[in-house]
Chain A
Amino acid sequence: MFEPPPPLPATDASGFLPGPLGLRLDEEFLSLSAINGSRSALDAIFPVGNARINPDGWSLRVRPSAAWTSGDTPAGEFSSVEIGHGLTHLRLRGVEALHFLGQYTCVDLFAAPLRQVKTARTRLNQYDCTIWWTNTRDVHLLIARSLAQSFCDHLRILAVRNEPGDSFKHPRPSAPEAPNRRG
C-alpha cells in the first residue's frame, strides 16, 4: 500500500486579496471527519458551539448529533464519515479579517456568546460557511468544495469595496470588563 498523492486545491486562493485592506486568503487542506452520535455522548466530548484545538487537530460541533474533527474518532458509540475533500478550508488573515467577514454574515460575530466560543456556521451573503477563529486577525473558513472558487472570487469583489477600517467603523463594547472587539 502506498500513500495517496497530495490532494489538489479546490481554489486559486493563495495570497493577498485586492483592495486596501491587506487581507490574505489561502487554502489549506484539512482532513476532516464527521462524527455522528447521540447528543449526550457528543456533549461530553465536543461541547456545544466550540471550536477546539487539540494537539491532534481541530474539532467543531456542528449539529446536535454531529461534530467535525480533524483528529481521530473518539472511543464510544460513534460513527465516522470522511468529509475533508468536500469542505475547502480557507484562512483569511489580516488586521481587519473578522470585521471584514462580520459585515456580511447573517449572525453578529461579535455578540457575547460567539465572542467566547469563536465559531459559527452561518450564511455569508449567499454562501453557507463555517467560520472559526483564534483571534480576529486569523480566521478559518469551511466552505463546500464546489462553491469554494466562487466564494474566493466573491471575497475579492467585496474586498475592493472596503476602506481600511477607521476606529469609528465598528461598535465595540466599552464596559471595562468587556473584551475589546478588536481582538
Chain B
Amino acid sequence: MLIPCPFCGHRDQAEFAYGGPARALPELDGQDGTHAWRTALYSGYNPRGPVTELWFHANGCESWIQITRDTVTHRITRSCLANPREREP
C-alpha cells in the first residue's frame, strides 16, 4: 500500500507499523473503569468497508497518523496526524 503521511507525503507501507483501529481509551481518573477498559481493548469491530485506524510512521517522521482505509479495496480516504496539536495550523 501507499499510505499518505500528512507530514511526509505518500510513503510505502514498509515504512509504517500498524497500530490497530483507532479507539478511545477511558480516562485515567482513578475510577473503577473495568468495564470501559474491557470494552475499549477487547470489543473491537472488524468491518468490511471503511475503518479508521492508526499507523506509526516508523521510518519517517515518527508520527502516529490516523487514516480511514477500506478493508476491501485498501482505498484510503482520509489521513491526518493523530495529535491534534501537531496538525497544520
B residues near A43, Cβ cutoff 8 Å: 89
Bound: A65/B83 CA distance, A? 10
State how many angstroms separate the Cβ of A157 from the closest Cβ of chain B.
20
B7 interface neighbour in A38, A48, A106, A107, Cβ under 8 Å = A48
Contact A64–B12 (Cβ < 8 Å): no
Q: Is the CB of B11 within 8 A of A122?
A: yes
The interface on chain B, measured as residues whose beta carbon lies within 8 A of the other chain's beta carbons, has a size of 20
Bound complex: CA A123 to CA B7 (Å)? 16
Proximity string of chain A (119-133) to chain B, C-beta cutoff 8 Å, 1 when within and 0 when not: 011110000100000
Q: Are B81 and A64 in contact (CB under 8 A)?
A: yes
A154 at the interface (CB under 8 A from B): no
Whether B60 sits at the interface, judged by CB under 8 Å, is yes
Of B9, B12, B85, the contact of A38 (CB 8 Å cutoff): B85
Chain B CB within 8 A of A113 CB: yes
How many residue pairs bridge A and B at CB < 8 Å? 49
SS of B interface (majority): loop
* Complex partner residue of A121 from B61, B83, B86, CB under 8 angstroms: B61
Q: State how many residues of chain A have any CB contact under 8 Å with chain B.
A: 18
Partner of A107, one of B11, B61, B86: B11
B7 touches A63 (CB 8 A): yes
Residue-wise interface mask of B (41-85) relative to A, using a CB-CB cutoff of 8 A (1 in contact, 0 not): 000000000000000001111110000000000000000010101
Task: Please list the residues of chain A having a beta carbon within 8 angstroms of any beta carbon in chain B.
Answer: 38-40, 43, 48-49, 62-65, 106-107, 113, 120-123, 128
Q: Apart from A49-B8, A64-B86, A121-B59, what are 4 other A-B pairs with CB-CB below 8 Å?
A: A38-B85, A39-B85, A48-B7, A62-B61
